[in-house]
Structure 1
Amino acid sequence: MPRIIVLPNEALCPEGEVLEAASGETICDVMLANGIHIEHACEKSCACTTCHVIVREGIESLDEADELEEDMLDKAWGLEPDSRLSCQAAVTDRDLVVEIPRYTINMVSEQH
């Protein structure tokens, strides 16, 4: 079973986490199911960038981002070449190392 290694994030998982994932699950769903409350303001419909992550290792195992995801990513804070929307990136058979950026462009968060 593939794993998602989430690097430490001060607000969401200060120690980092290693999560078990099933092929086909999105990075966002795996994190949410394991208590990492990543923002997903559009309810995972690829209409915002609040679930933006940077895939530090294993990105080549993911399907390529489609045009809609690429367009949304252009609006993400801290965009990097290996950025993805976690609600769109489905785990395959390889481990991933993921970093949650420190900021999002979400001006309103229900967690605050």
Structure 2
Amino acid sequence: MTQLTFLPHEEICPHGAVIEVEPGTSILEAALNHGIEIEHICEKSCACTTCHVVVRQGFDSLAPATEQEEDLLDKAWGLESQSRLSCQAQVADEDLTIAIPKYTINLVRESH
């Protein structure tokens, strides 16, 4: 099992969270399965940037991003060198520390 540490996010995960998941699981699936509601308006199809996360530790253990993911990441709010789309980044054997950005470019939220 691989440990994922989600840093606190004001709305989505106020106290942070530490979860364990099987390698091969996407960061988004792992989060959703543990009640961490990361936005994903394209339903995990790598067509938007709302599930953008920053991998603070363990980034190098992830498989490289595809060209499609890289193109989308260029549009993400708060892009950093260790940014990934959580729907595309699959957990490997190394523990990860993940930050969820404060904002997304999703201008329409059904929950608001």
After TM superposition, the score normalised by the length of structure 1 is: 0.99
Matched residue, 2:16 = 16
The Cα of 1:61 is off from its aligned counterpart by 0.3
AA matched with 2:7 = L
SS of match in other structure, 1:36: coil
Runs of 4+ in 1 over 3 A off after TM superposition: none
Q: How many residues align?
A: 112
Deviation, 1:111, is: 2.0
Q: For the residues of structure 1 that align with 2:35 and 2:108, how far apart are their CA atoms? A: 21
Name the counterpart of 1:102.
102
Distance 2:21 2:98 in 1: 13
**1:33 aligned partner:** 33
Residue 110 of structure 1: how far off its partner (Å): 1.9
Residues 44-85 of structure 1: per-residue CA shift (max 9 Å, x gap) = 000000000000000000000010000000000000000000
Q: Partners in 2 of 1:45 and 1:84 — Cα distance? A: 14
Q: Which residue of 1 aligns with 2:58?
A: 58
Structure 1 segments unaligned to the other structure (5+ residues): none
Unpaired runs of 5+ residues, structure 2, are: none
Give SS of 1:19's match. strand
Distance in 2 (alpha carbons) for counterparts of 1:41 and 1:54: 18
Q: Take 1:43 and 1:61, find their aligned partners in 2: how far apart are those partners? A: 25
2:77 maps to what in 1?
A: 77
Aligned residue identity for 2:104: T
